Amino acid sequence: MELRQIRYFLAVAEESNFTRAAHRLGISQPPLSLQIKALEEELGAQLFHRIPQGAELTIAGKILRDRIAAIPDLIAAAVRDTQRAAKGETGSLRVGFTGSSAFNHRVPNTIRAFRRKFPEVELSLSENNSQGLVTALRAGTLDAAFIRPTAIDRTGLRIYPLEEEPLIVALPSSRAPPSDPVRLIDLAQDPLIVTPRSLGPTLFDETVALCRRCGFEPIMGQSAPQVASVLALVAAEIGFALVPGTMRETALLGVNYYALEETATVTLALAIRSEEHAPAVLAFTAESRFPEPG
């Protein structure tokens, strides 16, 4: 039994007339009659009584109609859902981000734009440091991650650089800046608060390297696992920190931000697995590179 025969049979059953059914299907009546006859021969059952007014279902025809009436709609739904899945419009997507990247406009803009375009994709979000996010990607528990990629092992990953963010100085509100913009050498005697290298190698390496380029070895103060806790320690007057420029959006009582006289940047990137082909992941990747504004 072919799908075409099912459609023809149901049209005749609904119209109770071969001529009207043929018109509805956009074909002439003889091919329609031939297809119904072939279906009856295949099933070994008469499906219609031919009557002067048209055609009426036999008992066998009524049973067939009841059993297959939903098939065309089911197939249409299956085709539609298959096409949507191929475009990344359904399914699930697990996205990670670092604490500092969440304040970069690309991250919320990408997530917001993707959800608007693909509302039926189940989106889950999680925060971690770049190394933890990369580990989750390789383990298959994340599909995409916004990371700081400079010190990351790129094996098995595709990395898409998105933006270069300048480093800025975070100082306790009680600490007057030595200048504005700040010369980093003027902070050589202040403890530096930074995430441990094991958790945030990119920012750690960039910060220490910048201090050394400015002619001093930083005094390593209290470490903190995330940028939010780094800023909390700055507010507590434990020391100063160098953070991505987008952290200016964080209005934390007790912390002021200043531009650096020296030029230094950190990269924001999106990482996915090298072998990734899931449509939803690829659609999210494309959105991250050209996010719509809020």
Residue 293 has pLDDT above 60, yes or no: no
Compute the half-sphere exposure of residue 210: CA atoms within 13 Å on the CB side of its CA. Answer: 25
Tokens of 245: 């420029």
What is the CATH architecture of 91-288? 3-Layer(aba) Sandwich (3.40)
* Direct distance between the N- and C-terminal alpha carbons of the chain, in angstroms, rounded to an integer: 53
3-state SS class at 168: strand
Which pTM was predicted? 0.68
DSSP assignment of 51-95: ETTEEEE-HHHHHHHHHHTTHHHHHHHHHHHHHHHHTT-SEEEEE
Residue 122 has pLDDT above 70, yes or no: yes
Q: Do the domains 91-288 and 3-69 match in fold?
A: no
The more confident residue out of 78 and 262 is 262
**Domain spanning 3-69: CATH 1.10.10.10:** yes
Tell me the C-alpha distance between 129 and 111, whole Å: 19
Domains of the chain, residue spans: 3-69, 91-288
Which H/E stretch holds residue 278? none
Question: 134-188 pLDDT, tens per residue?
Answer: 999 999 999 999 998 887 889 999 999 999 999 999 999 999 888 889 999 999 9
